Structure 1
Amino acid sequence: MTLENPERASRRTAFSLLLVASLALGGCRSNSEGATPSNDEGRAAAPGAPEQPVAEPHDDPARFRLESELAAAYPTDAPPATATREFELHAAPGTTQLFDGRLVDVWAYNGQVPGPVLRVRLGEEVLVRLQSDLPQPTTIHWHGVRVPNAMDGVPGVTQDPIPPGGSFTYRFVPKDAGTFWFHPHVRGAEQVERGLYGVLIVDDAETLPYSRDEVWVLDDWRLSSDGQVDPRFVTRHDLAHDGRWGQMVTVNGDAAQQLTVRPGERIRLRLVNTSNGRVYRPDFGSLEPRVIAVDGMYTARPLPLDGFELAPGNRLDLDIVIPADGSGRSYAITDRFTRRPFTLATIRADGDPVFTPTFEAPSNPNVPGWDGAGERPVDVTYVLNARRGGEHGIQWTINGRPWGEHEVTELEGGRWVRVRFQNDSARLHPMHIHGQFFKVIARNGQPVDAPYFRDTVLLRGRETIDVGMVPIDWGRWMMHCHILEHAESGMMTEVRVGE
């Protein structure tokens, strides 16, 4: 499907001019707690500031306003590289100690599950050399990272799969600070389930004074009677339901994860859902975490955690203050997504209280409000459903077509679009778009004011969700359900963003 517009050749220039003007008037990131979404319309330039370029005329002023609001929210280009951080990843079968101490056969990066946390600072180049000794071809997809298209890790679209015994070097400068992760995009339902995933953290250019910065990787495991990973992947049962859900849930590979802290500490806790299909809704009890980032991107202001869910692929960054009088107390973190709540992990406060760092939580007040977006017509519709057939007996489809029969969506770079996800099935579908961020603007026809971006949004059965986005990263990108069994059986398509 193609969106036609006679201004295709000039739109990227116009958006780039908007971005230059917006960044000259105010940066993307702010530490103003409680700030509300804003835009730069009508804002006067500082005295003595150089005159800013004026964007070209637009055939649709209302759409132009939506596009201009995004221009200050996040950058079009990566910052100049100040240094290169090099990492070596070795993907291979191995054995690791998980759960209650038992040994489990896995496939792992550098012999560990989860894989290593790769950490860089905004402005540093990432160079990752992957050596694969897996019995299958593989790749690495950098989930949520706006990489050059050739580095996106999708076989047959952006690169050839890496054969057993082969290697590949991924090289890019991240455009955004945030919490991201990486995993294969070949036979993901098996390779991710066997343990191939890790976290990429891009720290802000300036260090934030948290007492500590922690990562919790959430996963579940379906084990067979011998305690090993169940080797039956992409079953009819998985396809007829919400993918593969395991009976053992772990945080950082531990079924009884406990984080020991000091009273008074202020913690940044990064939650990453790497599960094939399971969704989490964490409840921190008497603690009062504030959400400061969704899918790696700062929110317009700190938000209460109530109601937030982590579908496969989602990330949440939390700002948590441990009560100064909490010494000796344990705080159970409970998952409440299913009808049977269970403990995900525990935070225990021990020792004498320490000074609580006082600073404004990080935020992005330039997240666009996009008033009036709900009145815009729908530009692209994706209908989600299943049909009989295919290798696994059930095919999950987008607009009635599985991957391989899909119709490519052509989007113009810099042009605001309203995309509708219409779930005609009764199952869950977390829909993920590579290389782009979007903002939910309506749910079942009702306007939604979400002060944050996403790269993955969860649809419940028979639900319709509309999102707005301005694609500014050019190339061929995948869009798919992040229940990996659904994607494996066809619920994928391609989005091409052109100039």
Structure 2
Amino acid sequence: IILIGILILGVIVLIIFNNNNTSVKEVQNQSLSYIDDIDTYKTLESSSIINLSDGDTFDLEASIVKQEVGGRMIKRLAYNGQIPGPVIKVQKGASVTVNLKNSIDVDTTLHSHGLRLDNKFDGVPDITQEPIKPGETFSYTLTFPDEGVYWYHPHIREDYTQELGLYGNIIVDGELGYWSEANQEEYLIFDDFLEQEEFDSEKVTHTLMGRFGDTLLINDKKDFKVTVEKGQLNRFFLTNVANTRVFDLEFKGSKIKHVGGDVGRIQKEEFIDNVVIAPAERYVIETLYPQAGTFAINHRGQKIGEVIVTESEKDSSISTFNQLRDNSNDYKIVLDNINNFLSKKPDKSLRFNIEMKGGMQGMMTGDNMQNMDHGSMMMDSQKITLMGMEMTKDQAIEHCQMMPNMAGCEPYLNNKKPQDHQNDGIEWEDDMAMMNQMSNDQNIEWQIIDQATGEKNMNIDWSFNQGDLVKIRIYNDPNSMHPMQHPIHFHGQRFVVLERDGVPNKNLQWKDTTLIPTGQTIDVLVEMSNPGTWMTHCHIAEHLHAGMMFGFKVK
């Protein structure tokens, strides 16, 4: 019986390969994961900090490097040989030139995520520029109108290039006193990495849930450590560059003071217990450790790094740390009319959905799914019949997680695993790994739908005037085939979240990216300040490549 199940699964895999007209040999030839002469490439280096002044020019190269992982050399991609790429520090109001040379094996661009810069330097292929071919160089003029923490990455095949290491921070400093005085600043980039990576040059895989890694990293290190002094105020700039994973961070041994995020300071500083940070989001926090020792940085209870606290002869910063500053003047343009913005009808409304096509749809609902279930079910004597298919209770629970609106699923929707997103609307892990691995940009389409017109993705046609304050309602439909969270990113503009599920936001933060959990409705107010043709998209890399994006114009 077990052999029959294996044979059936094998037939399904062959069907998938045949549907894609791809032989095993062709798949090997299309792989971006390996190179024959890896030993000839430079070894990965640690990240550096680059201070740039107004008018400076900086040369940046995207290249292939090697890294030892688990006793073997693997292929990585790096900016200037570093992962993370160099931390670029500039002053608000500066203008610098970045010359990007492409020395990797696919086309690329440079997207300076979150900057309200000149549209032609936004790095979106075929919209703001032509792709940079291998061997070519493109010059970007970057301007920095806002303080905050930003990051740079490609905007072509992010699922591959960003995952293998092409990312780095941009820190824009304000005038003296913009932040509280800190003893030290640290730049922490959170990521996960799938050590047995496979990437196809012809298609993007893992489009159902996005590519989860099996190794959690801070600044590309499994054993990350940072040293601070007892009793001193530290400012940590946090960035999540993972393809799909949401991090839930605790800093043991210290209070966390939330002081800012994507585009500058938060309206009112506040003490928090943890930081939930979605892909592409950034947080600015301050910490103070009252005792010397070693303290964990945890993600959902799992230690992913350490803070080593040493003794200090300096006076304690506790009085400064305990002060909560009010930055409401940074939000005057919103607060002066907040009641009108909350009460007015949305100018635009969006809904998230998913459509399964071709072989994936057949696997989910047809004979393939039935045969697959039978192949594994035979090992369990307890059977459940659901939509004419026999399966175990565990399989029924998993099946109904995928399709919660399927007839007969009601008894199994309250039996979810502890990691599921029943309460918080977030998928923390890849609990459907095989289905996710089989999904790709040819059999899955993620959709952003304009509620007024019914148009979706790149057929959406929005146009605004410079200076407009646009209220947009976004609904993450829990009744879609596979509902999950989506981090939504607006290029070239900034926004605040006005409401979540009808509850007004009492503490505003200028943002360019925000997480929308399953079933949630949010209202955002976008300041359309920057002329050009811009993108809005989900920042799960695989969802972007599966269609979840649209363009808008600001005139």
Amino acid at match of 1:484: A
Show the counterpart of 1:385.
353
Show the counterpart of 1:364.
327
Within a 5 Å distance, the mapping from 1:88-487 to structure 2 comes to 88-97=59-68, 103-206=73-176, 209-224=181-196, 229-231=197-199, 238-241=206-209, 243-306=210-273, 308-323=275-290, 326-327=291-292, 329-336=293-300, 341-357=301-317, 359=320, 364-366=327-329, 367=331, 368-369=334-335, 370-389=338-357, 391-399=441-449, 403=457, 405-424=458-477, 425=480, 426-487=483-544
Amino acid at match of 1:379: D
Q: Distance in 2 between matches of 1:361 and 1:495?
A: 38
Q: Distance in 2 between matches of 1:353 and 1:231?
A: 52
**1:84 correspondence with 2:84:** no
Q: Decide whether the 8 Å contact of 1:143 with 1:181 is kept in 2.
A: yes
Q: Distance in 1 between matches of 2:519 and 2:253?
A: 34
Cα deviations across residues 255-310 of structure 1 (Å, max 9, x unaligned)? 11111111122111000101100001111233112111121321112122336411
Q: Distance in 1 between matches of 2:553 and 2:492?
A: 10
Q: Distance in 1 between matches of 2:308 and 2:202?
A: 38
Q: Decide whether the 8 Å contact of 2:89 with 2:171 is kept in 1.
A: yes
Cα pair distance change 1:109/1:350, threshold 3 Å:
same
Q: Secondary structure at the match of 1:495?
A: strand
More helix, by proportion? 2
Cα pair distance change 1:132/1:320, threshold 3 Å:
same
Q: Secondary structure at the match of 2:468?
A: coil
Amino acid at match of 1:350: T
Amino acid at match of 2:464: L
Q: Distance in 2 between matches of 1:265 and 1:233?
A: 49
Show the counterpart of 2:419.
none
Cα pair distance change 1:234/1:462, threshold 3 Å:
farther
List runs of 5+ in structure 1 lacking aligned partners: 1-80
Q: Distance in 1 between matches of 2:214 and 2:156?
A: 25
Number of residue-to-residue matches in the alignment: 404
Kindly state the Cα deviation for residue 144 of structure 1 after the two structures are TM-superposed: 0.8
CA RMSD of aligned residues (A): 2.3
Kindly state the Cα deviation for residue 96 of structure 1 after the two structures are TM-superposed: 3.1
Kindly state the Cα deviation for residue 449 of structure 1 after the two structures are TM-superposed: 2.3
Larger Rg: 1 or 2? 2
Q: Secondary structure at the match of 2:206?
A: helix
Q: Secondary structure at the match of 1:83?
A: coil
Q: Secondary structure at the match of 2:345?
A: coil
Q: Secondary structure at the match of 2:342?
A: helix
Kindly state the Cα deviation for residue 361 of structure 1 after the two structures are TM-superposed: 6.8
Amino acid at match of 1:171: T
- Bigger mean CA offset, 114-123 vs 211-220: 114-123
